[in-house]
């Protein structure tokens, strides 16, 4: 008798397992129709896919230079007192960056750098993306080096408390006399009266831009970001004094500020990685980027967006950051624009 | 005269036949009634166990863990594999089972409603929707009932001890974990070996490994029993055939998981191991390192992690050798001992792992095993309470968020954060103190049970 019951239960289990495996495979092997984007004279025609459930989508048109495909991440092991708390979270960020880029078909070059290598990158004057997720600015790298690199088109992504307020020295962390925002823009980007609150609400529609990291505990003031010619994105505290993301231009480059630290909030550092991929892939580092947002009940949306490319590297991107969709696709507009003789200030 | 006698004989024969028929029918009725009573007993047991579980399932969750199932479901709907976005760090078999259940759920409950981060910033955790919870917990609840059914067919009281064990109920119906699949596959593999269905035994072990890896530890012991069965028939060839049969079953059970074992799986496994190394040891002897008495003991903090990993491999192999030598009579204690080693020498022994051992302990027929493993539910539940300060409040977040029952989420998270900030008796945080203390108290139980298992497996050899 035990033979019979073990056979019945084992067969039931193996049937479940095989059916589940087939369900997983079928889902991957038979991909549903994705987002489409067609460059036409005067703009882009877009279509979002049909699904059985609602989702949000974003269309972006921005100057997206090729150097956004070159990403350096500061992981210097001498910075051992990380805000991340656990170096595994930093490794998690790197892994997620690579995987989230790969699933949308983007293959940036991601390299880790020490402080010395970071200095070399900055001094080279070659624009690229530099991620400092440790919450410290290396004291041995002069802010002017960063300023020149940003002016040349570099993009710095910062995660931590106030931008550059903590320096990393040979003796460990040290409070900076002047944080980087004051050194680079001559003023603070933070509201001195803003409280550190965990509660946030998404910025409406286009301003949320499909960003999912929602902490703004040490986020900059959206009003000051705007005065500096930048753009506040993502989420804001209920009083509107802090935001979770800001893109602030400097010369031909820009600084992307996250409103908090890289911490192990849920599982691995997936929200930060996803946002970095979304920001870079769509060219949201361009503060003048055009963003259109929409939601669909699943029937899909389509339309034509008139576009006037502002540089030869203008790209349009469309997709959804909703985790049950997470797809992005893009198309270049630059050469088309030149052919059609549209404005080109690049 | 002869005619008269013949008639009489026929009459007597008829009377006897009628009497026999009546007796047979009565016996059959009796047998049927016994079978019906058994069925009714099983039904009553399983139904009441199911009702308890299905009542708790939608109202409760350990949000950190169930959020992983939510993310897996979202990735599957997006057309990604379980590891493509590194959101899932469990074996692929469980991803397959979840995918099977969660895809149809999207037709009834849209994915954006599967979970929410409540407004107000009280928590950064996704709190799952009650309907999602029922669906995601249902497979593990079925596995619970499956174990109950198996046990009922062997020892009736054992089924009740399993089905109404508070830890078993907590793990599947409240926490949202699926350790009952480990219990089920180990029990199936063991019973398969005992009943001579060698292929099924291997199949169950393979399925269990595809689902949660742990049953792999019992593989050598149960394979040894199958080989031994072959040897008992007298030939090496028979033994090889039995072994091959078992291995084939195991390979087939494991096969559905293999296509998913690519580099991304290793990335999540490494991340999980790194997180485990940095965290608590749970209910195992390593917890001694976290106490004031063990912290300065060099052996414990330096050598124990290496020693425990060695024991995790060596003890199952040792039990396998004993089974090879002693045969099936050593199989039950050897399997129990192997499962105990697999629980006690894991880098982190989560309390739910105790559930792996319960069916083996109950099947062994040993009152000692049964009492001790059932009693371990108490420190296990205290451990969970020690992690969060107020277990009932913490796990009832779904009821609070979606049905506005019980304590408000704000009050729950405030008391939780207060608890995390408190200093404990050892001078550390309350949470690490409590769980280190429980780990230290439970560790001698593991060691004791391990020795008893060796003794039971070997005693016939004396």
B49 is in which domain, residue-wise? 2-57
What are the pLDDT digits (tens) for B381-412? 999 999 999 999 999 999 999 999 999 999 99
Of B57, B75, B94, the residue at which a domain comes to its end is: B57
Q: Which of A18, A267, A324 sits opposite B68 (nearest CB)?
A: A267
- Residue in B105, B111, B274 to test binding to A, most A beta-carbons within 10 Å: B111
pLDDT of the residue at A345: 33
Do B108 and B191 share a domain, yes or no? Answer: yes
Specify the pLDDT at position A70.
Answer: 98
* Cα distance between residue B49 and residue B71, in whole Å: 29
Sheet holding A36-40, edge to edge: A36-40, A43-47, A302-306
- B215 Cβ partners below 8 Å, 6+ apart? B182, B185, B186, B189, B204, B205, B208, B209
- In this complex, how many residue pairs, one in chain A and one in chain B, have their CB atoms less than 8 Å apart? 185
B72 has a chain A CB within 8 A of its CB: no
The reported pTM is 0.92
Last residue of a domain, one of B57, B76, B96: B57
- Is residue B318 assigned to a domain? yes
Q: How far apart are CA B44 and CA B67, in angstroms?
A: 33
Q: Which residues 134-153 of B have a C-beta within 8 angstroms of A? A: 139, 146, 149-150, 153
Distance between B461 CA and the closest CA of chain A, angstroms: 28
State whether B51 and B125 are in the same domain. no
pLDDT more than 90, % of chain B: 68
Which among B82, B85, B95 is the nearest to A103, CB-wise? Answer: B85
Question: Is B273 domain-assigned?
Answer: yes
Taking residue B274's Cβ as centre, other Cβ atoms within 10 Å add up to 16
pLDDT in tens, A279-322: 999 999 998 899 999 999 999 999 999 988 889 999 999 999 99
Class of domain A32-64+289-346 as given by CATH:
mainly beta
3-state SS class at A303: strand
Is B208 in contact with B339 (CB distance < 8 Å)? no
- Number of domains making up chain B: 2
B74–A323 CB contact, under 8 Å = yes
Taking all residues of chain A, what is their mean pLDDT, rounded to a whole number?
A: 90
Give start and end residues of each alpha helix (H) in B170-291: 180-195, 198-212, 219-232, 236-254, 263-278
Contact of A238 with A195, CB cutoff 8 Å: no
φ/ψ (deg, to 5) at A156: -105, 130
Please state at what angle helix A2-29 crosses helix B63-77, rounded to 10 degrees.
Answer: 60
Q: Does domain A67-285 have CATH number 3.40.50.880?
A: yes
Q: How close A269 comes to chain B (CA, Å)? A: 10
CA of B7 to nearest chain A CA: how many angstroms apart?
47
Tokens matching residue B420: 């995390």
Is B304 within a domain?
Answer: yes
Q: Are B6 and B39 in a shared domain? A: yes
Q: What does the DSSP 8-state code read for residue A287?
A: T
Give CATH 3.40.50.880 domain extents, chain A.
67-285
Closest of B459, B457, B460, B455 to residue B321, by C-alpha: B457
3-state secondary structure of A166: strand
* pLDDT at position A335: 59
Q: What's the pLDDT tens digit per position in B64-77?
A: 899 999 999 999 99
**Are B192 and B331 within one domain?**
yes
pLDDT band at A82 (very low <50, low <70, confident <90, very high): low
Q: How confident is the model at residue A81 (pLDDT cuts 50, 70, 90)?
A: low
Do B168 and B39 fall into the same domain? no
The alpha carbon dihedral of A99, A101, A103, A105 has a sign of negative
CA distance B18 to chain A (A): 33
Is B378 part of any domain?
Answer: yes
* Assigned token pair, B264: 């991304």
From residue B331, alpha-carbon distances to A3, A206, B205, B431 in Å are 17, 65, 15, 39
Residue A107 contacts residue A66 (beta carbons within 8 Å): no
Instruction: Note whether residue B118 is domain-resident.
Output: yes
Domain(s) labelled CATH 2.60.40 in chain A stretch across: 32-64+289-346
Query: Cβ contacts (< 8 Å) between A86 and chain B: which residues?
Result: 275, 278
Question: For B145, which residue in chain A has the nearest alpha carbon?
Answer: A9
- Residue B346: partners with Cβ closer than 8 Å, 6 or more residues away: B282, B284, B308, B312, B353
Distance CA B401, CA B259 (A): 39
- One domain, residues B308 and B269: yes
Q: Do B85 and B35 share a structural domain?
A: no
Q: What is the pLDDT of residues B215-244, one digit of tens each?
A: 999 999 999 999 998 888 778 888 999 999
CB contact under 8 A, B264 and A201: no
Residues B103 and B24 in one domain: no
Judgement on whether residues B127 and B239 belong to the same structural domain of the protein: yes
Judge if B76 and B49 occupy the same domain. Answer: no
């Amino acid at each position: 008798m035990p033979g019979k019951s073990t056979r019945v239960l084992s067969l039931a289990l193996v049937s479940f397992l095989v059916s589940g495996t087939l369900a997983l495979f079928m889902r991957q092997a038979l991909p549903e129709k994705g987002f489409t984007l067609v460059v036409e004279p005067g703009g882009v025609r877009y279509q979002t896919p049909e699904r059985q459930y609602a989702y949000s989508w974003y269309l972006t048109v921005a100057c997206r230079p090729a150097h956004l495909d070159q990403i350096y991440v500061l992981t210097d092991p001498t910075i051992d007192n990380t805000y991340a708390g656990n170096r595994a979270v930093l490794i998690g960020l790197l892994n997620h960056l690579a995987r989230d880029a790969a699933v949308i078909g983007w293959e940036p070059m991601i390299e880790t750098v020490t402080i010395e290598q970071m200095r070399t990158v900055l001094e080279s004057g070659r624009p690229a993306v530099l991620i400092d997720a440790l919450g410290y600015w290396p004291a041995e790298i002069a802010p002017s080096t960063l300023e020149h690199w940003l002016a040349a088109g570099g993009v710095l992504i910062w995660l931590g408390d106030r931008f550059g307020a903590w320096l990393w020295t040979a003796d460990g962390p040290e409070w900076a006399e002047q944080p980087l925002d004051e050194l680079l823009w001559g003023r603070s980007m933070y509201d001195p009266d803003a409280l550190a609150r965990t509660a946030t609400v998404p910025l409406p529609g286009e301003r949320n831009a499909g960003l999912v990291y929602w902490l703004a505990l040490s986020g900059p003031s959206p009003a000051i970001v705007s005065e500096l010619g930048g753009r506040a994105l993502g989420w804001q505290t209920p009083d509107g004094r802090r935001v979770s993301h800001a893109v602030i231009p400097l010369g031909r480059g820009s600084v992307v500020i996250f409103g908090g630290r890289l911490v192990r909030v849920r599982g691995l550092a997936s929200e930060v990685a996803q946002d970095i991929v979304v920001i870079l892939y769509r060219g949201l580092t361009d503060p003048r980027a055009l963003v259109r947002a929409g939601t669909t009940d699943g029937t899909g949306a389509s339309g034509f967006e008139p576009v006037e490319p502002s540089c030869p590297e203008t790209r349009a991107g469309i997709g959804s950051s909703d985790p049950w969709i997470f797809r992005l696709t893009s198309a270049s507009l630059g050469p088309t624009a030149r052919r059609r003789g549209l404005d080109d200030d690049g | 005269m002869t005619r008269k006698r013949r008639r009489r004989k026929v009459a007597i024969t008829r009377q006897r036949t009628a009497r026999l028929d009546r007796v047979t029918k009565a016996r059959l009725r009796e047998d049927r009634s016994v079978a019906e009573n058994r069925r009714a007993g099983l039904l009553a047991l399983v139904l009441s166990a199911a009702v308890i579980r299905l009542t708790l399932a939608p109202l409760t969750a350990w949000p950190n863990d169930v959020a992983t199932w939510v993310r897996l479901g979202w990735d599957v709907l997006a057309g990604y594999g379980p590891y493509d976005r590194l959101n899932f760090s469990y074996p692929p078999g469980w991803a397959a089972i979840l995918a099977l259940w969660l895809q149809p759920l999207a037709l009834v409950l849209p994915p954006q409603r599967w979970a929410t981060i409540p407004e107000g910033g009280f928590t950064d955790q996704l709190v799952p929707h009650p309907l999602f919870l029922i669906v995601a917990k249902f497979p593990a609840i079925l596995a619970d009932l499956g174990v109950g059914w198996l046990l009922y067919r062997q020892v009736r009281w054992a089924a009740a001890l399993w089905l109404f064990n508070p830890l078993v109920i907590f793990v599947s119906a409240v926490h949202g974990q699926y350790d009952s699949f480990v219990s089920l596959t180990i029990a199936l593999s063991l019973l398969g070996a005992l009943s001579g269905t060698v292929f099924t035994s291997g199949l169950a072990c393979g399925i269990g490994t595809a689902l949660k890896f742990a049953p792999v530890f019992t593989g050598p012991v149960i394979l040894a029993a199958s080989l031994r069965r072959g040897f008992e028939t007298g030939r090496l060839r028979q033994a090889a055939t039995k072994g091959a049969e078992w291995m084939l079953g195991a390979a087939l059970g494991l096969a559905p998981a293999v296509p998913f074992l690519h580099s991304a799986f290793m990335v999540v496994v490494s991340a999980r191991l790194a997180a485990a190394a940095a965290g608590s040891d749970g209910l195992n002897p390593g917890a001694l390192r976290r106490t004031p008495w063990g912290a300065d003991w060099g052996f414990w903090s330096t050598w124990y992690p290496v020693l425990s990993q060695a024991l995790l491999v060596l003890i199952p192999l040792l039990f396998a050798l004993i089974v090879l030598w002693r045969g099936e009579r050593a199989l039950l204690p050897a399997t129990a001992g192997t499962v105990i080693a697999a629980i006690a020498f894991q880098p982190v022994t989560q309390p739910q792992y105790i559930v792996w051992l319960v069916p083996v302990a109950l099947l062994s027929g040993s009152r000692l095993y049964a009492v001790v493993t059932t009693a371990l539910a108490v420190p296990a539940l205290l451990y969970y309470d020690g992690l969060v300060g107020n277990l009932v409040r913490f796990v009832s977040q779904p009821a609070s968020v979606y049905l506005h029952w019980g304590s408000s989420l704000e009050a729950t998270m405030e008391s939780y954060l207060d608890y995390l900030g408190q200093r404990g008796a050892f001078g550390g945080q309350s949470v690490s103190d409590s769980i280190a203390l429980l780990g230290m108290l439970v560790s001698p139980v593991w060691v004791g049970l391990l020795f008893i298992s060796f003794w039971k497996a070997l005693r016939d050899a004396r």
